[in-house]
Amino acid sequence: MFKKIKNKNTNDTYQLNQDVILYNQEGFVQLLDFNQGQFYALDRMATVMLSSVLDRGLEATITNLSQVYDTTEEEIGKDLTELLDNLIQKKLLTNTTINKSKSQLILQSFKNLILKILHKIISLTRPLINPQPEPNFITIHLLLILIWLSFRCLGWSETIKIWKTWYENYVENTIDSETIKTLDDKLKIASASNPLLSIMCKERALVGYHLLRSFYQVSATLIIGVTNDPFEVHAWVEYEGIVLTDDPVHCQQFKPVMKYQ
């Protein structure tokens, strides 16, 4: 299962970065960084330390672990500080008491503003570039580019959050399998023919998810799955049990661990 852990105590100072998720299944522990596309294994002791810091806080963890393992707080504190510093260096963990600089806040606001402007532009120009009820290739190409930029500017979590606001109040509809196949074929062709960008499964999946919800008003599901040997993460879309944006046989190799309705 996935855990997105946040501190319970207001005095705690550490939390996972917004695109980092702790994945634990039958003793198989990984830190998944969706933003950087990196995955890190944790041994048993590191898992215990990190989980305790995120759940209880630094001071409580040092006290508790020194009692459990019958060692000094100084020794536990040294090992714990080394682990936390290493995770911060890899941008997996953040110290919440360290405020962002003014320039970082301005940059983040600027990125958000640009994406909102692009969102507005697409909404206003849709009648001009895509007057048909179904998405055309121009619209699909533009969405692939915009989502590609979104992931690189904001990361996975913020991109999903922003894009889901586009269709929060849609009226649910249904579509037939032939319409789904036509859309899936268009999306795969557009993704493969983009000469400028390396379109990955996550861009393809989010565009498919967006088109199904915005053009057809259907309750599609964006799915994130993993495999353990070798460890890989994959994204695809499903509607009424039908897989879009990838080969269904390929998706069967991955265990779904996150779903966006």
- Runs of H (alpha helix) within 193-226: 201-214
Instruction: Output DSSP code: residue 166.
Output: G
CB 205 within 8 A of CB 222: yes
Give the separation between CA 103 and CA 81, rounded to whole angstroms.
Answer: 28
Closest CA to 207 of 184, 227, 225, 224: 184
Phi, psi of 87 (to 5 degrees): -70, -35
Model confidence band, residue 163 (pLDDT cutoffs 50, 70, 90): confident
% pLDDT > 90, the chain: 8
Cα-Cα-Cα-Cα dihedral of 239, 120, 235, 37, to 10°? -170
Average pLDDT over residues 117-138: 80
Domains and CATH numbers, the chain: 2-95 (1.10.10), 102-260 (3.30.460)
pTM of the model: 0.70
Which two structure tokens, joined as six digits, stand for 145? 């580019």
CB 194 within 8 A of CB 144: yes
pLDDT for 24 equals 72
